[in-house]
Amino acid sequence: MIDLALLPDGGLGWLDGSGPESHLVLSTRIRLARNLAEHRFSAQATEAEREAVLGMVREAAEQSVTLRRAMVFRLDSLPSLDRQLLHERHVVSKELSVPERGGVPRRASAVLLGRDVGAMVNEEDHLRLQGLVSGLSLEAAYAAVRRADVELGQQVAFAFHPQFGYLTSCPTNVGTGLRASILIHLPGLVLTKEIHRVLQGLSQVGLTYRGLYGEGSEVVGNFFQLSNQTTLGQSESELLDHLSRIVGQVIGHEEKARQILLRDAPSILEDKVWRAFGLLRHARSLGFEEAMNLLSGVRLGVGLGLVPDVGMYTVNRLLIETQPAHVLAMAGGVLDEAEVPVRRARHVRMILEAEAGRRG
């Protein structure tokens, strides 16, 4: 099993709550889709062609500052649990974490993990560069990923069309190849039932939303990923400016909803938050979805200053560590299915107890 502690930042730096608007925004992620010129897209390529692409990317990475020291995992030779762990850490897509055929994901697929930037190889595109930072910080995320993009682009030629821009496997990514995602926590809008109105508004201004785990994933725990729908026809900075403005508005709506809740239903709000805390602190069995929802309640309380003894990083960290593969990994990779919720609850209790001891 891979040792997640060896990942840059333990793989959790993006959750440390240090970035702007961290009480609402968990993280900003920017990914750039790139393909190597003169090579067939990964899905159409033979295994040998994909191996060639992977070799070129690794060589280019070794010449770069950003990815020279990256940890490299070949996903086609990694055990299933490790792939799941990397997926739950938001550094490998769902597609590359599940088997394609023969029980492994696509042959020659890999992920390179540097300090500020990661790169999936032979996913839908040859290269998917990802910058992931704490809070709302499009500039920081873009700077990190752009640097890797420039460095790698000096070593290999990317497929680029003078009129359309970067060419990608799926036409929806053509142009900038840029997708920015803001992982935001909107319990206030959910509780005030304003969320649907706000989400509908997003689609009218070119934004889309998903749940915690990318396309098609359900919204649990009031966590939403907001991202740009179009990649074409605007420059990178125009795209990011627009997204930043809209996310700013969503933040304003959420702040207002929280103020309304505090004004009109303070004891209902407080009760909700503390019940969630009480269950997390004492339950002996927790399902994944319930844990998410309870963590959402506590996170709201921490954000509003109602729960002084718990830090935002602790809550964010538990959102990651309560996921199925993480729970399984904590138990050394072997766990009776019925034991998973018991083990999850034990971990949550332990972390919250340690937190109380540290802060109390």
Task: Supply the minimum distance, in Å, between the C-beta of residue 280 and its own copies.
Answer: 8
Q: Which is nearer to its own copies, 218 or 336 (CB)?
A: 336
Query: DSSP letters along 65-114, please?
Result: SSSTT-EEEEGGGS-HHHHHHHHHTTSS-HHHHS-SBTTBSSTT-EEEE-
Total chain residues near its own copies (CB under 8 A): 19
Q: Which is nearer to its own copies, 55 or 278 (CB)?
A: 278
Q: Which is nearer to its own copies, 285 or 293 (CB)?
A: 285
Q: Which is nearer to its own copies, 99 or 266 (CB)?
A: 266
Cβ proximity of 15 and 313 under 8 Å: yes
Contacts of 287 (CB under 8 A, 6+ apart): 341, 344
Task: Supply the minimum distance, in Å, between the C-beta of residue 309 and its own copies.
Answer: 12
Residue 258 sits at the vertex; the CA angle it makes with 253 and 264, to the nearest 5 degrees, is: 120
Query: Could you tell me which stretch among 17-25, 125-133, 248-256, 267-275 binds its own copies (CB under 8 A)?
Result: 267-275
Task: Supply the minimum distance, in Å, between the C-beta of residue 293 and its own copies.
Answer: 14
Which two three-digit tokens encode residue 10?
Answer: 């333990």
Query: DSSP letters along 139-169, please?
Result: HHHHHHHHHHHHHHHHHSPBPEETTTEE--S
Task: Supply the minimum distance, in Å, between the C-beta of residue 174 and its own copies.
Answer: 51
Query: Quick one: DSSP state of residue 134?
Result: E
Q: Which is nearer to its own copies, 278 or 308 (CB)?
A: 278
Query: Could you tell me which stretch among 102-110, 121-129, 146-154, 268-276 binds its own copies (CB under 8 A)?
Result: 268-276
Strand-pairing partners, residue 29, are 132, 181
The whole-angstrom distance between residue 155's C-alpha and the CA centroid of its chain comes to 28
Task: Supply the minimum distance, in Å, between the C-beta of residue 106 and its own copies.
Answer: 39
The answer to the question of residue 258 lying near its own copies (CB under 8 A) is no
Q: Give CB contacts under 8 A, 24+ apart, made by 41-50.
A: 41/124, 41/125, 41/126, 41/169, 42/106, 42/109, 42/122, 42/123, 42/124, 42/125, 42/126, 42/169, 43/124, 43/169, 45/122, 47/107, 47/108, 50/106, 50/107, 50/108, 50/109, 50/122
Quick note: the x/- pattern for its own copies over 319-338, rule CB under 8 A, is -------------------x
The answer to the question of residue 263 lying near its own copies (CB under 8 A) is no
Q: Which is nearer to its own copies, 250 or 291 (CB)?
A: 291
Residues 273-302 that bind its own copies (CB under 8 A): 273-275, 277-285
Q: Which is nearer to its own copies, 85 or 298 (CB)?
A: 298
Task: Supply the minimum distance, in Å, between the C-beta of residue 330 and its own copies.
Answer: 17
Quick note: the x/- pattern for its own copies over 338-357, rule CB under 8 A, is x---x--x------------
Task: Supply the minimum distance, in Å, between the C-beta of residue 265 and its own copies.
Answer: 11
Which two three-digit tokens encode residue 51?
Answer: 């191996």
Encoded amino acid at 44, one letter: Q
Task: Supply the minimum distance, in Å, between the C-beta of residue 315 and its own copies.
Answer: 16
The answer to the question of residue 271 lying near its own copies (CB under 8 A) is yes
Encoded amino acid at 324, one letter: P
Q: Which is nearer to its own copies, 47 or 271 (CB)?
A: 271
Q: Which is nearer to its own copies, 41 or 277 (CB)?
A: 277
Query: DSSP letters along 215-262, please?
Result: TTPPP-TTEEEEEES--SSS-HHHHHHHHHHHHHHHHHHHHHHHHHHH
Binding site for its own copies (CB under 8 A): 267-268, 270-271, 273-275, 277-285, 338, 342, 345
